[in-house]
Amino acid sequence: MTSAPLEPFAVTIDFATGALVPDPDVLDRRLADLDGYFVADIDDPGVGAYTVHEVRVPPTGNNLLSSTTVLAPGKVGDEYFFTKGHFHAIRDRAEIYLTLSGEGLLVMALEDGRTVTKEMRPGIANYVPGHWAHRSVNTGTTPLVFYAVYIGDAGYDYATIAERGFPVIVVEGEEGPEVRPNPRYVAS
Amino acid sequence: MTSAPLEPFAVTIDFATGALVPDPDVLDRRLADLDGYFVADIDDPGVGAYTVHEVRVPPTGNNLLSSTTVLAPGKVGDEYFFTKGHFHAIRDRAEIYLTLSGEGLLVMALEDGRTVTKEMRPGIANYVPGHWAHRSVNTGTTPLVFYAVYIGDAGYDYATIAERGFPVIVVEGEEGPEVRPNPRYVAS
Ligand SMILES: [Mn+2]
Ligand SMILES: [Mn+2]
């Protein structure tokens, strides 16, 4: 081996709130950080959209990175709050999302524009295979809390989504959430 | 890429029982399968020790394998029921155990005999770094249920534990579980 083994450790996850103990690495995303991501304009850029609570290990292909995400309920125009979403920098790396609280949709897209949308609710473990960009959407009225595990060297490609958008958007329709084509999606 | 991307999919986990929906791949371990693992003799080899409910994906280094394990409460002599435990065939591959129900101990050991023992209870995410053999022990009175995620190509080396045992055993002492040296451990 090239380095000494890591020491085993543990974190405690509050399934209701997504808080970790210990919780040293919290990323705080406001609507301002999502400027340009929604079809409608953002009214109040100071509103909190989501927090990511990371468990830190070396980002190598033999380790597992993990985090909880707490996505607030809310809408910008008729679009539900969502996470930025990304491809993995190393495209073929998989990820698992285990929903702990709340309800939502997991939108996944290939670079060719094909999309798959899956339900998120407590107890559902979503498998995000390699090559699928992934964004979670809170379609409920309470925080959407999920635990993510992914291969340590996966990395993040946020730029492709920032530039092209997702092929679909999730809006509040007459009878609940509707998945519709994104009028601003830039096909490759 | 060398093959087409997998399709996204989901399984639903019952956090109380560990059952999956769908649940096509259930491994059933009886005490007979643990013959020679405990210090004391087994009275009834037909007694169920644990079930493993596997989520199948190709076992490659870009994928994540996952499963729930349901470990029954019970003892053989004064040792609590445990899983066989293994090193990963590719030694440096990490694993995460998220406990969903029950209580227990996660015993981890390096090949040089050093051990670390961590608590398992609902909400605790245990990080098992590469190079650490791992065995879960049910020290409670209800099933110990946990969700495991590991890198797809990790593989399993059960033989080393079958031959040498773990350096420590977990027994019921006067004031609860006690971790003691294993009199049958074969040091390397
Ligand atoms: Mn990801
Ligand atoms: Mn393992």
Which SS3 state, helix, strand or coil, does residue B92 take? Answer: coil
* A39 CA to centre of own chain: 19
H helix and E strand count, chain A:
1, 15
HSE (CB half, 13 Å, CA atoms) of A69?
Answer: 28
In single-letter form, the type of residue at position A181 comes to: P
A15-52 burial string, b = 16+ CB within 10 Å, else e?
A: beebbbeebeeeeebebeebeebbeeebeeeeeebbbb
Ligand 2 centroid to residue B143 C-alpha, Å: 20
C-alpha pair distances (Å), A8 with each of A20, B36, B106, B148: 17, 27, 10, 15
Contact between chains at A129 and B98 (C-beta distance less than 8 A): no
| For the CA of A130, the nearest ligand | 1
A8 to chain B nearest CA, in Å? 5
| For the CA of B148, the nearest ligand | 2
| For the CA of B66, the nearest ligand | 2
A28 within 8 A of A49, measured Cβ to Cβ: no
What pLDDT does A109 receive?
A: 98
* B112 CA to centre of own chain: 20
What pLDDT, in 10s, does the model give residues B124-149?
999 999 999 999 999 999 999 999 99
In single-letter form, the type of residue at position A170 comes to: V
A64 within 8 A of A150, measured Cβ to Cβ: yes
A74 to chain B nearest CA, in Å? 25
Ligand 2 centroid to residue A185 C-alpha, Å: 41
Q: What is the dihedral of CA A105, B127, A86, A97, to 10 degrees?
A: -10
In single-letter form, the type of residue at position A147 comes to: Y
Ligand 1 centroid to residue A156 C-alpha, Å: 7
What pLDDT, in 10s, does the model give residues B150-172?
999 999 999 999 999 999 999 99
A144 within 8 A of A169, measured Cβ to Cβ: no
> DSSP class of residue A34?
G
Contact between chains at A130 and B92 (C-beta distance less than 8 A): no
Rounded-to-integer distance, Cα A46 and Cα A29, Å: 9
Please report where in the chains the tokens 């066989």 appear, as a residue: B84
Contact between chains at B96 and A62 (C-beta distance less than 8 A): no
Task: Name every chain A residue with its beta carbon within 8 A of the beta carbon of B96.
Answer: 64, 66, 149
Rounded-to-integer distance, Cα B52 and Cα B69, Å: 4
Return averaged pLDDT per consecutive 10 residues of chain A, 188 residues in all: 85 98 95 97 97 98 98 98 98 98 98 98 98 98 98 98 97 96 93
From first to last of its 188 residues, what are the pLDDT tens digits of chain B?
457 899 999 999 999 999 999 998 999 999 999 999 999 999 999 999 999 999 999 999 999 999 999 999 999 999 999 999 999 999 999 999 999 999 999 999 999 999 999 999 999 999 999 999 999 999 999 999 999 999 999 999 999 999 999 999 999 999 999 999 999 999 98
Instruction: Write the residue in A63, A122, A127 that is nearest to B94 by C-beta.
Output: A63
What pLDDT does B2 receive?
A: 58
B144 within 8 A of B121, measured Cβ to Cβ: no
In chain A, what are the domains?
Answer: 31-181 (2.60.120.10)
Rounded-to-integer distance, Cα B31 and Cα B83, Å: 10
The closest alpha carbon to B145, from B108, B106, B80, B99, belongs to B99
How many CB pairs lie under 8 A apart between chains A and B? 155
Please give the span between the terminal C-alpha atoms of chain A, in angstroms, as a whole number: 42
